[in-house]
Amino acid sequence: MGAAGNYACVADGFVTLKLYNVAGQELKTMLSGVLAAGRHTVGLNAGTLPSGVYMYVLTAGDFRATRKLMPIR
């Protein structure tokens, strides 16, 4: 089972996208690098994750967003 997410960068810069479990342990770095401004897509193979609630954190420059992810089987 795969999932994809879209996001946009307003300026060129270093971007990270990390996945955490509810205990706050980092499970995976899905993206880490310099990206150009514009729209981007990142994929996740959710079939490797046990059912549950996860958090992902997107950081780009001074911007930081945390959202919940719940893979549905």
pLDDT tens by residue, 6-54? 666 667 789 898 999 999 999 989 889 888 878 877 777 777 788 889 9
Going along the chain from its start, the domains and CATH numbers come out as: 2-69 (2.60.40.3110)
Q: Residue 17 burial by CB count (10 A; 0-12/13-18/19+): exposed, middle or buried?
A: buried
Secondary structure, 3-state, 47-64: HHCCCCCEEEEEEECCEE
pLDDT at res. 21: 92
The Cα 50–Cα 53 span in angstroms is: 9
Is residue 1's pLDDT more than 70?
A: no
